[in-house]
A and B are shown apart, each in its own frame.
Chain A
Amino acid sequence: MSTVTNDIHHDEHHDHHDHKPSGIKRWLYTTNHKDIGTLYLWFAFIMFLIGGAMAMVIRAELFQPGLQIVDPNFFNQMTTVHGLIMVFGAVMPAFTGLANWMVPLMIGAPDMALPRMNNWSFWILPFAFLILLMSLFMEGGGPAFGWTFYAPLSTTYSNDTTALFVFSVHIMGASSIMGAINVIVTILNMRAPGMTFMKMPLFVWTWLITAFLLIAVMPVLAGAVTMVLTDKFFGTSFFDAAGGGDPVMFQHIFWFFGHPEVYIMILPAFGIVSQIVPTFSRKKLFGYSSMVYATASIALLSFIVWAHHMFTTGMPVGAELFFMFATMLISVPTGVKVFNWVATMWRGAISFEIPMMFSLAFIVLFTIGGLSGLMLAITPVDFQYHDTYFVVAHFHYVLVTGAVFSIMAATYYWLPKWTGKMFDITLAKWHFWCSLISVNLLFFPMHFVGLAGMPRRIPDYALQFADFNKWISLGGFAFGLSQLIFLALLIKACRKKGEPVSAQVWDGAEGLEWEVPSPAPYHTFETPPVVK
């Protein structure tokens, strides 16, 4: 795709820049995109484990009918905070971490455009989640109204720690917006000479589009939580019919944020898979420009489909038809992406290294999630699926085997570049196969119980759902434990154990990030490379 002509080896005159404060100060004060990327990635992984622990509580309670372990109020806190942590604490920061590490390396920039804001946007995040997690231990407990915090359950009928939830979401939103601004400014202004837009790697393209989505919708979320705050504490009636408001309006506002948010969590994943599949197929990405246009189409369409989350709220039939058609339309550009990946593999010379394995699993399992999404788009049938485990199965296929698998693929793909050492391949294989099998045991039977009529967000269920729920829980525990293998592998990698790797790492890899030495020096591309 692009070649580098000038000498991009680390400039000796700048070696003194490698002197950085040691210990905690290095991480607190850092403005280096690689350090901040590492911080984001570790933060995301810790949050993934905490959110995962909450999922274990949920699955333990649902292991058999009856109430055994937690009371319903705490169960609701677990489902709520699990959702919030996984969305805002794990998936989004992980992608931001990958963007921090890789976008400057991929476009030949020395760092992110706004390094101090970069530091700030990371360091407010731990406080946001500390506030959220602390609320669980306060009187009345944490938020228990679902991560979608529908009014009036989150206003009149919630407890006082809702204020902490609102404050925490505000901080997460501010962090996301700053991260997005940084990505946009970096990509628009700091590309190496010769790197035109249509030469940018797909990961950079998808992140650029994602960043615009973030700037467009995070303020809407901020508006929604602020209205919840004033409805609850200051006597406004945005969502209270008695004061002239409308509780359904809350859902319109929330999902106007929420649907683009879904694509915020999947577009960078598309970018990652579009980097990895060509590398291990030893063949250029098929349909590069159509991939870019498909990404942009998905992003634009994401603004006009929000009410497909609300088909049962009693919208006029005309609105239901509009949102059904618009939603079905999204499957066209999404399909184009899947077809392009398969065409990239077609007649390539494929090998099956760990990042490729995760990417192949991504394509298959994300497609399953996409197809159930198409089923959900059909309004009359959605009345049956809505708010059941069928929906839970759907969004976990696109988010866990989709977004999370892509993050794991990306970690394995770029980890040798970050550490300079090949990761422990045996552990990685264990991680992959344990995760793949358990994740399907966990989420596939959810389709069945959902179709059979099990509502989501219930702490106890009717007897006919018992057998599948047992399997689902076992799958859940196995998937949770599998991630400890990943933890062990990452700790080992960070201690720089393993075989040294070349600059290119993977024999089919192309792009600027593979031209710098492994591990990537603290400062790279201080003189921009020229891309032809």
Chain B
Amino acid sequence: MGKIFTGFWGVMAFLVSFASFAASDPKPEQYQLNLRSGVTDISQQVYDLHMTIFWICVVIAIIVFGAMLWATIFHRKSRGVKPATFHESVKVEIAWTVVPFIILIGMAIPATKTLIAMEDVSAPDVSVIVTGSQWKWHYKYMDNEVEYYSVMATQPEQIANKLEKNINYLLEVDRPLVIPTNQKVRFLITSDDVIHSWWVPDFAVKKDANPGFINEAWARVEKPGIYRGQCAELCGKDHGFMPVVVIAKEPAEYAAWIEEQEELQRKAKEEEQKLLAMNMDMDELMTVGERVYNTTCAACHMPNGEGLPGVFPALKGSDIALNDMQKHIDVVVNGVSGTAMQAYAKQLSMKELAAVITYERNAWGNDTGELVQAKDVNAVLNGQ
């Protein structure tokens, strides 16, 4: 039965091809086979550790499989060999207990050093609070008045195979996190609902976002650039659609960006106040509302407003969306505790809230004809 070797060599060939590709320069391209060495000192250490252990494993595999192969060729019954009778040796048993143990100590020492360096979150230059929620990330800069949500930017038509997929399919967001290069950036990671995991492979940072607890991680990025990752912990229906994008800028550029953002957010707040005195018409509300609905609400309540029976309630024909307007505003603004319904007051502007509630009360045959204005939302927000 020479066939046994075919399978064996197949496996060996896999291993060898793995090994030879593993050594080549990693790029995020179609046939990337190996970890990325990344753009931080830590990610480089992690990569080196990975390669060291990989080669140790390859050597062990070659020795073990080599011995097996030798036995299957030369110690086969069809060659007319007589089986030996030995069946134990304390010396050999001790040898192959002690030698692996020593190899393990050799692996553990560099691993321990790297781990301790990774977990040293002291003395950060910049701190960002990263909050996961179903299915977006929120970034808040601790030393500046800047905070925003970061949502996947890939169009639903691309996911539904109606449009051609672009190069960063599923790995693009509307507003990436921006951090300075060559500074120690600390990430304070938490969650508003289920457990998520914030992962940027190029930083070798993957930390779970646990609701009610704060985890810490850090990165000192050496090269300016755009770095992409994804949520790594199953967090519900759209777990696969929750990318992380980080842009690292030179410190001066970063400072300018932060200033610009602070200014923008200040202006937005002023706009908001002005808006309270204004009334928007149906067309404007419906246009804005549809856009907001599709980016923010459709993931659960579905684009047709029918929800997912037994999982997410329908809005089409629902009692709240047709009748009790105050309750409707309250649910959208404050969320419903103990359910997946989030509080959107901090995610959307008052104009957007007003528009989306109007949209929900007038779309898919929910023809109440009622308008909700920013001041109505403001009233609920202030508990009136």
> Using a CB–CB distance below 8 Å, which chain A residues touch chain B?
65-68, 72-73, 76, 138-141, 144-146, 150, 152-153, 156-157, 159-161, 240-242, 246-248, 281-290, 312-314, 317, 320-321, 324-325, 328-329, 331-332, 335-336, 338-339, 342-352, 357, 360-361, 363-365, 367-368, 371-372, 374-375, 378-381, 383-384, 386-388, 429, 433, 436-437, 440, 444, 447-448, 451-453, 455-464, 466-468
Q: Decide if B23 is an interface residue (CB 8 Å cutoff).
A: no
Q: Given the interface contacts A284-B87, A328-B108, A350-B71, does A452 sit within 8 Å of B28 by beta carbon?
A: yes
Other 18 A-B pairs with CB < 8 A, given A161-B310, A240-B212, A387-B233: A66-B159, A144-B237, A146-B234, A152-B193, A153-B235, A153-B236, A156-B338, A282-B77, A335-B100, A342-B71, A350-B71, A357-B4, A380-B118, A381-B111, A387-B197, A444-B14, A463-B165, A466-B30
Interface size (B, Cβ < 8 Å)?
113
Can you report 8 A-B residue pairs in the complex whose CB atoms are below 8 A from each other? A66-B161, A152-B193, A153-B235, A289-B88, A360-B8, A368-B15, A437-B7, A462-B169
**Total A-B residue contacts, Cβ distance less than 8 Å:** 333
Please report the C-alpha to C-alpha distance between residue A335 and residue B207 in the assembled complex, in whole angstroms: 32
Q: Decide if B230 is an interface residue (CB 8 Å cutoff).
A: yes
Q: Decide if B357 is an interface residue (CB 8 Å cutoff).
A: no
Q: Which of B58-66, B267-275, B281-289, B316-324 contacts A (4 or more CB under 8 A)?
A: B58-66
Q: Given the interface contacts A380-B118, A448-B33, does A246 sit within 8 Å of B84 by beta carbon?
A: no
Contacts of A335 in B (CB 8 A): 96, 100
> Using a CB–CB distance below 8 Å, which chain B residues touch chain A?
1, 3-4, 7-8, 10-11, 14-15, 18, 21, 28-36, 45-46, 49-50, 53-54, 57, 60-61, 64-65, 67-68, 71-72, 75-78, 81-89, 92-93, 96-97, 100-101, 104, 107-108, 111-112, 114-116, 118-119, 134, 158-161, 165, 167-171, 189, 193-195, 197, 199, 201, 204-208, 210-213, 215-216, 229-241, 308-311, 338-340
Q: Given the interface contacts A335-B100, A368-B61, does A361 sit within 8 Å of B7 by beta carbon?
A: yes
Is B234 within 8 A of A313, CB to CB?
Answer: no
Please report the C-alpha to C-alpha distance between residue A452 and residue B36 in the assembled complex, in whole angstroms: 7
Is A379 within 8 A of B229, CB to CB?
Answer: no
Is A336 within 8 A of B97, CB to CB?
Answer: yes
Is B11 within 8 A of A72, CB to CB?
Answer: no
Q: Given the interface contacts A325-B108, A384-B35, does A350 sit within 8 Å of B310 by beta carbon?
A: no
Which of these, B10, B54, B115, B340, contacts A379 with CB under 8 Å?
A: B115
Least CB distance from B231 to A in Å reads 7
Q: Given the interface contacts A378-B53, A387-B233, does A67 sit within 8 Å of B160 by beta carbon?
A: yes
Is A349 within 8 A of B18, CB to CB?
Answer: no
Which 10 pairs, one residue from A and one from B, show the smallest C-beta to C-beta distance? A140-B310, A241-B212, A458-B240, A139-B310, A314-B215, A347-B84, A284-B87, A452-B32, A371-B57, A352-B1
Please report the C-alpha to C-alpha distance between residue A461 and residue B32 in the assembled complex, in whole angstroms: 14
Is A324 within 8 A of B115, CB to CB?
Answer: yes
Please report the C-alpha to C-alpha distance between residue A153 and residue B193 in the assembled complex, in whole angstroms: 8
Q: Which residue of A lies closest to B112 (CB)?
A: A321
Least CB distance from A352 to B in Å reads 4
Is A157 within 8 A of B193, CB to CB?
Answer: yes
Is B100 within 8 A of A331, CB to CB?
Answer: yes
